């Protein structure tokens, strides 16, 4: 499969000199689900926000669909959907409006059929007139995904979509992610949970202390290491 996101020697130092990313190289293949496994503070959020151009890299290069995230931000960003870890939605806004507004922000033409398709895909259509504050945590996360999909991105980044979520809701999220893959979107998600990566990923990357220790096909990795050894890598 062709590469859709190309990351070369990506480094990020925060003020004070702390090196959160220590030279990450990664090629993300079109159509895959890549799970980035890492423990607290490993650098997962920093990696995602730096790839997406929300955080400025100290050095290195990222291209999305051939567009440089720094030099050609608008073109690169328009190909990216980003689902942040925290739920940053307007509590009094309605679901459909939230997604409609997001599409407008990206300068995409109004298209009610597209919005309906996205909401149906996430089983949110019957909630389209609900206010965000009326929704459960799981439903709010779906709205975040709908928002991220509103401008028809090619690549979707999900930052710990199941952090602090119970097992049943986590499985719902896995189904959603599988459905999105089937619709042709490339997916990168971060997680603490080995079983989550194992359940949904095509490839698994392990990130620890700002370094990408490995990236491997899931089946090969699980056969080579197994859960126990993988856990050791995470610490």
Note the residues at the interface with ligand ATP (CB under 6 A). 14, 18, 20, 38, 40-46
| Nearest distance from C-beta of residue 126 to ligand ATP, angstroms | 32
CA distance linking residue 24 with residue 46, whole number of Å = 11
Q: Which is nearer to ligand ATP, 22 or 108 (CB)?
A: 22
User: CB-based burial of residue 199 (10 Å sphere; 0-12 exposed, 13-18 middle, 19+ buried)?
Assistant: middle
Residues whose CB falls within 8 Å of the CB of residue 206, separated by 6 or more in sequence, listed in order: 36, 37, 38, 212, 213, 214, 215, 230, 233, 234
| Nearest distance from C-beta of residue 98 to ligand ATP, angstroms | 24
DSSP 80: E
DSSP 116: H
Q: Indicate the angle between helix axes 95-105 and 137-149, nearest 10 degrees.
A: 30
| Nearest distance from C-beta of residue 6 to ligand ATP, angstroms | 21
Q: Which is nearer to ligand ATP, 41 or 179 (CB)?
A: 41
Residues whose CB falls within 8 Å of the CB of residue 218, separated by 6 or more in sequence, listed in order: 35, 197, 198, 201, 202, 203, 204
Q: Which is nearer to ligand ATP, 45 or 98 (CB)?
A: 45
Instruction: Give the count of beta carbons closer than 10 Å to the beta carbon of residue 106.
Output: 14
Q: Which is nearer to ligand ATP, 46 or 63 (CB)?
A: 46
Q: Which is nearer to ligand ATP, 45 or 150 (CB)?
A: 45
Q: Which is nearer to ligand ATP, 46 or 98 (CB)?
A: 46
| Nearest distance from C-beta of residue 50 to ligand ATP, angstroms | 9
Q: Are 77 and 31 in contact (CB under 8 A)?
A: no
């Amino acid at each position: 499969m062709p590469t859709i996101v190309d990351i070369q020697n990506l480094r990020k130092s925060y003020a004070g000199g702390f090196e959160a990313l220590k030279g990450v190289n990664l090629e993300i293949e079109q159509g895959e689900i890549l799970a980035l496994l890492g423990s607290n503070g490993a650098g997962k959020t920093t990696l995602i926000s730096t790839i997406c151009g929300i955080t400025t890299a100290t050095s290195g290069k990222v291209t999305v669909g051939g567009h440089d995230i720094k030099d050609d931000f608008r073109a690169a960003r328009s190909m990216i959907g980003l689902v942040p870890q925290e739920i940053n939605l307007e509590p009094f806004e309605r679901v459909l409006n939230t997604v409609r507004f997001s599409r407008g922000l990206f300068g995409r033409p109004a298209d009610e059929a597209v919005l309906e398709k996205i909401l149906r895909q996430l089983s949110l259509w019957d909630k389209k007139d609900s206010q965000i504050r009326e929704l459960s945590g799981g439903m709010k996360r779906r709205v975040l995904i709908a928002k991220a999909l509103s401008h028809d991105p090619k690549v979707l980044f999900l930052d710990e979509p199941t952090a602090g979520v119970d097992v049943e809701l986590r499985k719902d999220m896995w189904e959603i992610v599988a459905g999105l893959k089937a619709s042709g979107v490339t997916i990168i998600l971060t997680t603490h949970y080995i079983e989550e990566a194992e359940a949904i990923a095509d490839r698994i990357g392990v990130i620890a202390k700002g370094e990408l220790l490995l990236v491997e096909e899931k089946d090969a990795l699980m056969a080579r290491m197994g859960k126990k050894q993988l856990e050791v890598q995470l610490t």
